[in-house]
Amino acid sequence: MNKVVNNATEAIRGINSHMTLMLGGFGLCGIPENCIAALVASEVTGLTCISNNAGVDDFGLGLLLKKHQIKKMISSYVGENAEFERQLLSGELEVDLIPQGTLAERCRAGGAGIPAFYVPAGYGTEVANGKEIREFNGKMYLLEHALTADFAIVKAWKGDTAGNLVFRYTANNFNQAMAMAGKITIAEVEELVPAGTLDPNHIHIPGIFVQRIFQATDLEKRIEFVTTRA
């Protein structure tokens, strides 16, 4: 199976309006910016996007929000995007806010084939509304369901032609869990190498989980807040 495609435009083929997408990244670290740009150009609409956050106004998922291509966001932290706030308050955007650890575990469970699990986070708050509650060892837990997606789109440091991926430091974030939870997983990588080049002990995602891979050409590594000493 040839998993290598030429670019982001080829990688996102088959992504249609009203599909559910998982997108790796935390803030602007490790986001698949090339695939996001290709989605903006594709004019797909009505997307449900599962992502820790919604980018910023002029980068990442913020670009899809600006063109009203996202119908629903399933996220944890969305505080850096003014357009997100505007669409939420005006009722233009559906939002499901999830505690960060719960979101990570729901993605991981989806990739592991676990349909649901119990977690204490959110008990006694609005997060618990409509959810099954059980007591274990004197503590209350909520039933949370796993998350999966039509496509998972991730960003890796290195990948090989067989689809094996290596993430670098904190850029691993949600990428590793989401790479396993998509029916089709797309990986854009900073460096694409021949199969057999990567040390097997350093591989984070085996190629069996990845269907499409390409080497990104436009790499823009932004910093959300530049903080320096006086």
Residues 6+ apart with CB under 8 A from 126: none
Q: What backbone phi and psi angles, to 5 degrees, belong to 62?
A: -60, -30
Mean pLDDT of the chain: 95
pLDDT digits (tens, 9 = 90+) for 76-93: 988 778 999 999 999 999
Stronger pLDDT, 15 or 78, i.e. the higher one: 15
119-169 pLDDT, tens digit each: 999 999 999 999 999 999 999 999 999 999 999 999 999 999 999 999 999
Across the range 32-53, mean pLDDT stands at 96
Six token digits for residue 191: 């460096």
The residues spanned by each domain of the chain are 8-116+146-215
Which residues, 6+ apart, have CB-to-CB distance to 163 below 8 Å?
3, 187, 205, 206, 207, 208, 209, 210, 211, 213
Q: Report the DSSP pairing between strands 70-75 and 47-50.
A: parallel
Integer angstrom CA distances of residue 137 from 101, 131, 132: 21, 19, 17
Global pTM reads: 0.93
The token pair at 226 is 């530049």
The answer regarding whether domain 8-116+146-215 maps to CATH 1.10.10.10 reads: no
Residue 209 in 3-state DSSP?
Answer: helix
